[in-house]
A and B are shown apart, each in its own frame.
Chain A
Amino acid sequence: MGAEDNVPLDDKAKRMRDLLSSFYAPDPSTNNAPSNPGTLDAINTSSFDADQYMNLLIQKSNLDELLQRHVEMAAEIKNIDTDLQMLVYENYSKFISATDAIKRMKSDIVGMEANMEQLLDKIMSVQSKIQFIYDLPTRLGKCIESEAYVDAVKFYTGALPIFKAYGDSSFQDCKQASEEAISIIGKLFSDSESIQARTEAAVLLKQLDFPVDSLQVKLLEKLEQSLGDLQLKTDDIENASMESNDPKLGKVPDSVHITAHEGSIRGFAEAISAYRVIFPDSEGHLIKLAQDLVVKHFETVEQCVKGRFSCANLLVVLRTIWTDVLLMDEVLSEAVLPGFSLEAAQNALKQHVASTFNYLLHDISDALLRLNVSSKEAAEENPLQVALEASKKALLQGSMDVLLDFRQLLDDDLGLLVQLRDFVSDWVQEGFQDFFRALYDRFFLLSGRKSSSSQDQGLTAGAHGEKVLAGLVLVLSQLSVFIEQTAIPRITEEIAASFPGGGARVYENGPAFVPGVMCRIFRSAGERLLHHYINMRTQKVSTLLRKRFTTPNWVKHKEPREVHMFVDLFLQELKETTSEVKQILPQGLERKHRRSDSNGSTASSRSNQLRDDKTNRSNTHKARSQLLETHLAKLFKQKVEIFTKVERTQESVVTTAVKLCLKSLQEFVRLQTFNRSGFQQIQLDIQFLRTPLKETVEDEAAVDFLLDEVIVAASERCLDPIPLEPPILDRLIQAKLAKWKEKNPITP
Chain B
Amino acid sequence: MQGGSSGIGYGLKYQARCISDVKADTDHTSFLTGTLSLREENEVHLIRLSSGGTELICEGLFSHPNEIWDLASCPFDQRIFSTVFSTGSLFDIDLPFYGLKMETGLIVFFAGEGESYGAAIWQIPELYGQLNSPQLERIASLDAHTRKINCVLWWPSGRHDKLISIDDENLFLWTLDCSKKTAQVQSKQTSGMLHYLSGGAWDPHDINAVATTCESSVQFWDLRTMKKTNAVERAHIRNANYDMKNNHILVTAEDESGIHIWDLRKPKSPVKELPGHTHWTWAVTCNPEYDGLILSAGTDSSVNLWLAPTSAEEDATSESIVESPAQQAGPLLNSYSDYEDSVYGLAWSSREPWTFASLSYDGRVVVESVKPFLSRK
Q: Which residues of A contact B (CB under 8 A)?
A: 437, 440-441, 452-455, 458, 520-521, 524-525, 528, 535, 538-539, 542, 553-556, 620, 623-624, 627, 631, 634, 639, 642-643, 660, 663-664, 667, 670, 673, 675-676, 716-720
Query: CA–CA, A266 to B236, complex, Å?
Result: 73
- Contacting pair A664 B280 (CB below 8 A): yes
| New contact pairs (13) apart from A437-B322, A639-B340, A675-B114, CB-CB < 8 Å | A441-B321, A454-B321, A455-B268, A524-B325, A539-B255, A555-B115, A620-B39, A623-B39, A643-B279, A660-B278, A663-B279, A667-B342, A675-B92
A453-B270, A555-B115 as given contacts; A525 in contact with B92, CB under 8 Å: no
- Contacting pair B317 A720 (CB below 8 A): no
Number of A-B contacts (CB under 8 A): 97
- Contacting pair B325 A535 (CB below 8 A): no
Contact with A along B25-38 (1 / 0, CB 8 A): 00000000000001
Query: CA–CA, A553 to B40, complex, Å?
Result: 22
Query: CA–CA, A555 to B88, complex, Å?
Result: 8
Is residue B269 within 8 Å, beta carbon to beta carbon, of the partner chain?
Answer: yes
Which of A454, A528, A535, A663 makes the CB contact (< 8 A) with B299? A663
- Contacting pair A539 B362 (CB below 8 A): no
How near does chain A come to B324, taking the closest CB pair, in angstroms? 8
How near does chain A come to B60, taking the closest CB pair, in angstroms? 24
8 tightest CB-CB pairs across the interface, nearest first?
A555-B114, A524-B325, A643-B278, A673-B88, A452-B269, A556-B114, A535-B256, A663-B279
**Chain A: which residue is nearest B87 at the CB level?**
A673
Task: Enumerate chain A residues within 8 angstroms of B92, measured Cβ to Cβ.
Answer: 555-556, 675, 719
Is residue B126 within 8 Å, beta carbon to beta carbon, of the partner chain?
Answer: no
Which of A620, A675, A716, A718 makes the CB contact (< 8 A) with B15? A716
**Chain A: which residue is nearest B364 at the CB level?**
A631
Which of B14, B89, B269 makes the CB contact (< 8 A) with A719? B89
Task: Enumerate chain A residues within 8 angstroms of B103, measured Cβ to Cβ.
Answer: none
Query: CA–CA, A720 to B95, complex, Å?
Result: 14
Those of B91-124 within 8 Å (CB) of chain A:
92-93, 112-115
Pull 28 A–B residue pairs with CB atoms less than 8 Å apart, ordered by A.
A440-B324, A452-B269, A455-B268, A520-B325, A525-B325, A535-B256, A539-B255, A554-B114, A556-B92, A556-B113, A556-B114, A623-B39, A624-B40, A627-B14, A627-B15, A631-B362, A664-B279, A667-B279, A667-B280, A667-B299, A673-B86, A673-B114, A675-B89, A675-B93, A676-B93, A717-B38, A719-B89, A720-B93
Q: Which residues of B contact A (CB under 8 A)?
A: 14-15, 38-40, 86, 88-90, 92-93, 112-115, 236, 255-257, 268-270, 273, 278-280, 299-300, 317, 320-322, 324-325, 328, 340, 342, 361-362
Task: Enumerate chain A residues within 8 angstroms of B89, measured Cβ to Cβ.
Answer: 555, 673, 675, 719
Task: Enumerate chain A residues within 8 angstroms of B88, measured Cβ to Cβ.
Answer: 555, 673, 719
**Chain A: which residue is nearest B321 at the CB level?**
A441
**Chain A: which residue is nearest B86 at the CB level?**
A673
Task: Enumerate chain B residues within 8 angstroms of A542, measured Cβ to Cβ.
Answer: 236, 255-256
Task: Enumerate chain A residues within 8 angstroms of B269, measured Cβ to Cβ.
Answer: 452-455, 458
How near does chain B come to A552, taking the closest CB pair, in angstroms? 10
Of the candidates B15, B236, B273, B279, the one having the most CB atoms from chain A within 10 angstroms of its own CB is B279
Task: Enumerate chain B residues within 8 angstroms of A452, measured Cβ to Cβ.
Answer: 268-270
How near does chain B come to A461, taking the closest CB pair, in angstroms? 11
How near does chain A come to B264, taking the closest CB pair, in angstroms? 15
Task: Enumerate chain A residues within 8 angstroms of B90, measured Cβ to Cβ.
Answer: 719
Query: CA–CA, A554 to B92, complex, Å?
Result: 11
Task: Enumerate chain A residues within 8 angstroms of B280, measured Cβ to Cβ.
Answer: 664, 667
Query: CA–CA, A473 to B278, complex, Å?
Result: 18
Task: Enumerate chain B residues within 8 angstroms of A667, measured Cβ to Cβ.
Answer: 279-280, 299, 342
A458-B269, A660-B279, A719-B92 as given contacts; A553 in contact with B15, CB under 8 Å: no
Query: CA–CA, A20 to B125, complex, Å?
Result: 192
Task: Enumerate chain B residues within 8 angstroms of A521, measured Cβ to Cβ.
Answer: 324-325
Which of B38, B300, B361 makes the CB contact (< 8 A) with A718? B38
**Chain B: which residue is nearest A535 at the CB level?**
B256
